[in-house]
Structure 1
Amino acid sequence: MDAEAVRALAAAGELWDVEFKQDGRDRLNDRQLVEAVVCMANGPGGTVLVGVDDGGHIVGAQPRHGDITDPARVEALILNKTDPHLAVRAEVVEVDGNDVLVVQVPRGPHGPVGTTDGVFKRRSLRYDGKPECVAYRPSEMLSAGLSLAGVDYGGVPARGATLADLDPGELERFRRLCDRGSGDSSLSTLDDTSLLRALRLLAEEDGQATPTLAAVLLFGREASLARWAGSAECLFQDVREGPTMANETLRLPLLRLMTELEERIRIRNSETELMVGLQRVDIPLVSTSTVREALANALVHRDYTELGPVTVQFADDYLSVTSPGGLVPGVTIDNILEQSRPRSVVLADAFKRAGLVDRKGKGVNDMFASQLRAGRDAPDYSRSTARSVSLLIPIGRADLDLVRFILTYEHDAQRPLRMDDLRVVHQIRVVGPSSSRELAEDLNLVDSAVRGTCTRLIELGLLDVTGAGRNRRYTLSSQFYALAEDRNAYVRVRGMQPVQQEQMILEYVRRFGSITRSQAGSLCQIEPTQASRMLRGMTSRSLLAMEGHKRSARYVLPE
């Protein structure tokens, strides 16, 4: 690594795979250095920069071996002080007259890595989104070890358990679910032992059939759950003022728990009536399919080696479902619509064969599509961390004009819109006229794919386009405004180009000294989110300068 690369890393700030260590008057000792390396090895691996402070300023590293720092001795120190032994690459890079010790750390190849003093740390995110090193708890290491070894937690035998520890009533519940339309009816006639074997929920130990932990989670009696699956609990809360307020802790086998949670949500799930042509459509706060998918994902994919309950919370504007353990390895917030991987294959298979989840692994996509068709924002996973998965389902006021627009098209065309179609249409409705680049950034999609989607939507009569080249913007078609009985809005949206809006904003600032987001929105007759985007764009091109932060921000002419 050269000086320019070190400067670039320092300027970018601490990242998930980059850690800064200041080495000033309070010299970074060997123990602290080894613990920093262990922390990175228990994450994705990465780079430790010794001699860079938390602000990204290069302050220099103190010599560790007399008048110099010997990289070979640093590598030997880390190799000897880690368990299992970890080989790193160390080098000293001079940057603007200061020495920076660069330690490149691989990901731990055989599971959790600790110091020879028994200290285990891992990478985590703070409340403000910045990375830090925290204690690596035994339960977390167990989960990581099972995942690394390819061991299904649900398939681990429940030592000492017998068939008598399972509730026959819960096995019968499973048979009834299988006998329904979407279940695997071939399982509905099997006896208890044959059913458990078909679901791979029995393990052979000392010549005897022993229920697995998944069998206890699915069918266990109350005492069995307490003994072998103590982390299996759920907290249901309704924090809205009124007679439906609730705060309950539920410790039940998973199929019964699923039923109880669905019923609690059902009695709170009011509907809005909408006429689409001559047809009456009821728009619930949250669809049955969305509820089922959200609950099933939390119960099946949570990390049962982690203590703490699954939390289901009803609030005025959202339904949230939070489960212990981060996203399954290989699944991220960015690829959650493309990737479907169970934490426990046997648990996921049991829910699929009971007909409780989508058998094609597209349940999350259906959940997103259901929300967008109901005129509400898409489900939000952005609050998820390495320790928990947090799903926020907006249930605020539905955009009935958008619902009517989508359902009218799908009824007339006799085919549903694709997922990306729904996302693009919804985003344009929320933020107003948008370029393909802006839509790609907002939706985390590839620009070329967005252009293809917009072209198809134009051909379907759902979008119009204004401008050309860099000023090309996509808007909802005139059909939307006709159905919404607001044709004047269509003229306003199409009638004013971004260049004209920018000129209006600049003229306003010249005359009055500054402008806020709300003032820009009122001036140009656009949504606040679109005004914010336009002001940011003008700032990035040095047409304006921002003063203040967030809601107090105002925009002035640059000096």
Structure 2
Amino acid sequence: MRSVTGKTAEWTEMAKDCVAFANAVGGTLSIGIEDGQTLPPHDQRIPPDLPDLLRRKLAERTVNVTALPNVATAANGGQYIELTVPRSTAVASTTDGRYYLRVADQSKPVTGDDVLRLASERAALPWETQTSLNVPRSDAEPSKLQVVVAALRASDRVKPSVKEKTPDELLDHYQMSQGPYLTNLGILCVGQRFRRAQLTTAPVVQFIKYDEHGQKVNKLVWDDYLLNPMELIEAVWQEVPDFRESYELPDGLFRQIVPAFDEVVVRELLVNALVHRPYTQRGDIFLNLHPDRLEIVNPGLLPLGVTPQNVLHTTVRRNEHLARLFHDLRLMEREGSGYDKIFEVLLSHGRPAPELVEGHDRVQVTIRRRILKPEIIDFIAKADEAFQLTQREENDQAPGLECHRHEEGHCS
């Protein structure tokens, strides 16, 4: 807990946290509750002048940060301050020229070239909510809107009060429209084909198959903008016959059928590529199939603050509203457990962990086709049946597999 009273007041640290929240997606700090506790002392009272002092001290130490302190009363009668920091419309910093970004539960410093990158990613309005094309909301494609509305109403992740909304109200609720216009997100998901093409950064997917000599032997392209991101996932899975290949493994007197590529893994990787790509940058999504591996190549870099080493433990949402829509449609887990699921499935099938590499303008994920430890498939299945393992426990139970991701000297 940061102290904001007396001689030990940590205004500099408080300013750093506020800058970090403002440069991320905003957040709320609870002041007056000790670390490890959920409630303030029952007899705690906030001095009447403290909110104004807090607002003034932070304004003196930050640039482009809005601090909104509010006195709240907990269930036990104790008072504390809820300090809300909205997402900044410009790059936030401390008055001495330091930049920070909130990554998971830490305020990370931003230095060097990453400062320019932070500035370039900080549009005054997120790409998803922009209406610069002035597409009327009535221009939504009826069939696509009907499918999305039906799926949302059938989802157990959507509140009953939201399901009762009209299709027009659902467009507003999910930031697919604003006033009389469809937003970029609305055009992407329920817009007509030619409108989606006008976005210029709507996703194009290319599947390329290579033989053992590195020569192209097949190519499929989804570049006509006919499909929205949700439909693209289904189309790619259904139209690439190689994804449904399987082979046999000896299992005692019997043989076990194992898929060449698990459907859950392929779909999760496609979801990650579509949801987390920078829609302000052009570039196709490539699925490069080699005899021994599948490579998914996405344009752009990982979100600022996320690295190949911490991707399992860090959640940064680049496209917040698209992620929310995908979550409510049951296409993804919003809190970043997609890679956990990929690890779980790959390791339970005796395959190596995925390899994540960040280039200067792209991110590549590689999954291997070969099973390194066939006996692990039966081992994990029996352990799961007996102990109902969690995802992380299943990852830990897979001995002898090479892990390509390390952090602080330990295998993740």
Structure 1 and Structure 2 fold alike (TM over 0.5) = yes
> What is the CA-CA distance between 1:179 and the residue it aligns to?
4.9
**Which one-letter code corresponds to 2:365 in the other structure?**
L
Deviations 1:17-47 (A, max 9, x none): xxxxxxxxxxxxxxxxxxxxxxxxxxxxxxx
* Corresponding position: 1:270 with 2:245: yes
- Report whether the alignment pairs 1:419 with 2:392: yes
| Equivalent of residue 187 in structure 2, options 216, 220, 225 | 216
Match of 1:8 in 2: none
Distance 1:445 1:302, change over 3 A: closer
Counterpart position of 1:300: 275
1:247-272 deviations in Å (ceiling 9; x for gaps): 32423321221221121346632223
Q: Name the TM-score, length of structure 2 as normaliser.
A: 0.63
Corresponding residue SS for 1:290: helix
Cα distance, 1:228 vs structure 2: 2.6
AA aligned opposite 1:200: Q
1:196 to 171, 192, 195: 171
Q: Extract unaligned runs of 5+ from structure 2.
A: 1-96, 101-111
The 3 A distance-change label for structure 1 pair 191 and 314 is farther
TM-score of the superposition, structure 1-length normalised?
0.48
Structure 1 partner of 2:74:
none
Say whether residues 1:403 and 2:377 are aligned partners: yes
Which moves more between the two structures, 152-161 or 334-343?
Answer: 152-161
Higher RCO (CA 8 Å, separation ≥ 6 residues): 2
Q: The residue matched to 1:320 in structure 2 has which SS?
A: strand
Structure-2 separation of matches of 1:234 and 1:396: 25
Cα pair 2:211 2:290 within 8 Å, conserved: yes
The aligned runs of 1:519-538 (5 Å cut-off) are none
Structure-2 separation of matches of 1:182 and 1:385: 38
Following superposition, the deviation at residue 163 of structure 1 comes to: 2.0
User: Which of the residues 173, 183, 194 maps onto 2:147?
Assistant: 173
Query: How many angstroms does 1:224 deviate by?
Result: 0.2
- Give the CA RMSD over aligned residues: 3.6
Please show how residues 226-375 of structure 1 align to structure 2 within 5 Å.
226-240=197-211, 245-250=218-223, 251=225, 252-265=227-240, 268-273=243-248, 282-375=257-350
Q: Quick check: 1:157 aligned with 2:138?
A: no
Q: Matched residues in 2 for 1:299 and 1:326: separation?
A: 13
Distance 1:144 1:404 in 2: 47
Write out per-residue CA displacement over residues 468-524 of structure 1, whole angstroms, 9 at most, x where no aligned residue: xxxxxxxxxxxxxxxxxxxxxxxxxxxxxxxxxxxxxxxxxxxxxxxxxxxxxxxxx
In the TM superposition, what is the alpha-carbon distance from 1:275 to its structure 2 partner? 7.5
Q: Name structure 1 gaps, 5 residues minimum.
A: 1-105, 110-121, 125-135, 431-438, 454-559
| CA distance, structure 1, for counterparts of residue 129 and residue 318 of structure 2 | 11
The amino acid that maps onto 1:387 is D
Checking the alignment, whether the CA contact within 8 Å between 2:246 and 2:257 is kept in structure 1 is yes
Deviation at 1:244, TM superposition (A): 8.0
Q: Distance in 1 between matches of 2:325 and 2:360?
A: 26
Q: Is the partner of 1:160 in helix, strand or coil?
A: coil
Alpha carbons of 1:238 and 1:174: their partners in 2 closer, same or farther (altered >3 Å)?
farther
Identity %: 21
Distance between the aligned counterparts of 1:265 and 1:180, measured in 2?
28
1:289 touches 1:367 (CA, 8 Å); kept in 2?
Answer: yes
Partners of 1:398 and 1:173 lie apart in 2 by 42
Q: Give the counterpart letter for 2:187 in structure 1.
A: V
Distance 1:188 1:259 in 2: 24
Mapped contact 1:202–1:210 kept (Cα < 8 A): yes
Tell me which amino acid in the other structure corresponds to 2:395. L
Give the structure 1 partner of residue 158 of structure 2. 184
Structure 2 CA distance for aligned equivalents of residues 429 and 240 of structure 1: 26
CA shift for structure 1 position 236: 2.3
Shift of 1:177: 3.1
Alignment partners' CA distance in 1, 2:315 and 2:168: 30
Q: Which has the higher helix share?
A: 1
> Equivalent residue of 1:369, what SS?
helix
Give distance in 2, aligned partners of 1:419 and 1:272.
27
Using a 3 Å threshold, how does the CA distance of structure 1 residues 290 and 342 change in structure 2: closer, same or farther?
same
SS of aligned partner of 2:122 = helix
Task: Indicate the SS of the match to 2:356.
Answer: coil
Partner of 1:33: none
**Could you tell me how far apart the structure 1 residues matched to 2:130 and 2:254 are?**
52
CA gap 1:326/1:354 in 2 versus in 1, 3 angstroms: same
Shift of 1:274: 5.3
Contact 2:372–2:401 (8 Å) recurs in 1: no
Matches within 5 A, 1:127-138: none
Distance apart, 1:237 and its partner CA: 2.1
Aligned residues: 301
- The 1:336–1:215 alpha-carbon spacing in structure 2 relative to 1, beyond 3 Å, is same
**Partner amino acid, structure 2, of 1:177:** A
